[in-house]
Every structure is written in structure tokens, then in C-alpha cells.
Amino acid sequence: MARVVVLLSGGLDSYTAAAVAKREGFDLSALSVNYGQRHARELEAARAVAASLAVDEHIEIDLDLSRFGGSALTGDLEVPKGRAFDRLGSRSSGSSGEQDIPVTYVPARNTIFLALALGWAEVLGADRIVIGVNALDYSGYPDCRPEFIRAFEALAALATRAGVEGQRIRIFTPLIDLTKAEIIKLGMSLELDYALTHSCYDPGPDGRPCRQCDSCVLRAHGFEAAGLRDPLLV
């Protein structure tokens, strides 16, 4: 079977994207990055998700982006709380200039993560990288858009031996056109245990979600729209 490298954050999107790849018959190698994020609880969730999916190998890389700062997730900036759903960048079909990019955006994060995954994919002979980006219900990050994914695929074709030799590495984004509710329904159809996941940007000392940050609000909206109860809040 063909192998893929999955970027696994421990959130419900990356969990669902990985499960879709597994359903389609791919062998999974998972990559998680400890990038100096304040919500390191997600790494514990990534390990649980990797175990649930029975991935063949799970690598964690330490890459401290907090040295750069520039984000509420890697520095001392305050994580926004209580923003209305219609201000989170969801359902926007225009350019990134038409919406506010929140301080939880980590500069070039998906570019960096995809570059790491690309290097490993080339070593493994994998022909795809799986990432759970979504362009509908998200927080307005520029590196979650389809045009970014297409541009990175073009870069991968030029920057790798595999690409030069005609073995292009594709970026698999099975969730990119789904709403959060549709993603959750898809995961439930795959019998995923979302109690294993973590989404909150600013969890409490016990790891419980704050329920007020953008990620918590989007997650709550998704479960509500899907007519389901979030198992983390039971």
C-alpha cells in the first residue's frame, strides 16, 4: 500500500484527516511538532490519536518557534477570548486582506510543518502529505487556504529529488471544503473518539478547554451544528 505522512496536532481536524487517509487504504506515518506552543497539551492528544489510529510510526520534533515570538500561541500576547463566530474568518471567500488575521496565527507555521513533512516523505518514499487544513470554519489563517496548498505542491515539485524525477509529492487536504459540523459528522461516521482530541488555545492547568478562545468557539459551533455533544464537555 502507498504511504503518507500525516501532520498530527492532536486536534479533531488532523485526527479526521488522518482517519480519512487510513480509510482510503494508506499506511500512516505521523509527524507532530513541539513548536514552543503554550497549549502543549495537544502533544499528549497527538500521542493518543496516533495510538488510536495505529500509525506505523509517530515522530515528534522539537522546533522552538517561541524564539521568534509573534503569536499568542508562542509568546506573551494574550489569547483572544469571546470573539463572535462571524469574526473568526469563517465562510470568507475573499482575500486574506478582507478579514482580520488573529494574534493566534503563528508566522509561517504550516509552511514550516509541511517542509518538515516533505523531507520525511521523500525519505520514506511517500507520495502524499496529509494535513487537516480547512478553508470554511477556521480563524482566518492565510496558510489554510487552497491557494497556499497549491503553491506548496508546486514548490515541492521543484525543491525535491522526487519531484525532479517525476514522482511528485501531493498535499492531501480531505477537509478543506467542509464545515466544522461536516468534519465532525465525517469523524463520527469513521467511529473516531473525539474525547482523545484537544483544540483549546489556552487550556487550564488541568488541561480543560477554556471554552472562550477562537478554537473552542469554532469547535462548540461545529458540535452544535452537527447536533452532537462534545465528549470533552460531558
Q: Is the model's pLDDT at 39 over the cut of 50?
A: yes
Say whether 32 sits in a helix, a strand or coil: strand
| Per-residue pLDDT at 87 exceeds 60 | no
Strand partners, 129: 5, 171
> Can you tell me the mean pLDDT for 169-188?
97
Residue 86 pLDDT class (50, 70, 90 cuts): low
The model's pLDDT over 132-170, given as tens digits with 9 standing for 90+, comes to 999 887 778 999 999 999 999 999 999 999 999 999 999
Concatenated DSSP letters of 81-147: BS--GGGTTTT--S-GGGSPPPTTPPTTHHHHHHHHHHHHHHHHT-SEEE----SSSS---GGGSHH
Across 16-34, average pLDDT: 97
CA separation for the pair 74, 121 (Å, rounded): 27
Name the percent of the chain lying above pLDDT 90: 82
Neighbours of 84 (CB within 10 A): 7
Answer yes or no: is pLDDT of 93 > 50.
no
Task: Quick: pLDDT tens for 105-134.
Answer: 999 999 999 999 999 999 999 999 999 999
Residue type at 164 in one-letter notation: V
Rounded distance, CA 24 to CA 38, Å? 34
3-state secondary structure of 40: coil
Question: Cα–Cα distance between 127 and 47 in angstroms, integer?
Answer: 24
What percent of the chain stands above pLDDT 70?
93
Provide the CATH number for the domain formed by 3-233 in this structure: 3.40.50.620
**Are 216 and 224 contacting, i.e. CB atoms less than 8 angstroms apart?**
no
* Residue entry with cell 520525511: 120
The pLDDT-based confidence of 88 (bands split at 50, 70, 90) is low
pTM score, two decimals? 0.92
